[in-house]
Amino acid sequence: MNMPTFFDRKEAARRLTEQGLKVSPATLGKWAVHGGGPVYQIFGNKAVYTEDALSAWAEAKLSTPRRSTSEVA
C-alpha cells in the first residue's frame, strides 16, 4: 500500500494558491471548524491534507465554464 504525502495547513494553502486558488492557512482552519473546506485527517494534534483531498475539494467548488456573467449553472 502506497501512503499518500500529507501537507499541513500552511503547505496545503501554498499548494492551492500555486494553482491560482488563493486560500490562507487561517481560512483552512476556519473551514475545519465550520465546514466547507477540504477533508483532512489528524496526525497527533495537527490537521493534514492529501493532494487528492485538495484537488477533489477544488474541483467540487469550481463552476462549469461560462462565457458570460449572465449564464447560470
The span from the CA of 32 to the CA of 29, in Å, is: 5
Question: 18-22 — which CB contacts under 8 Å span 24+ positions?
Answer: 19/58, 21/58
pTM of the model: 0.86
pLDDT digits (tens, 9 = 90+) for 4-59: 999 999 999 999 999 999 999 999 999 999 999 999 999 999 999 999 999 999 99
Domain segments of the chain as ranges: 6-61
The span from the CA of 57 to the CA of 61, in Å, is: 6
Site of grid cell 447560470: 72
Taking 80 as the threshold, does the pLDDT of residue 61 lie above it?
A: yes
C-alpha cell at 22: 488563493
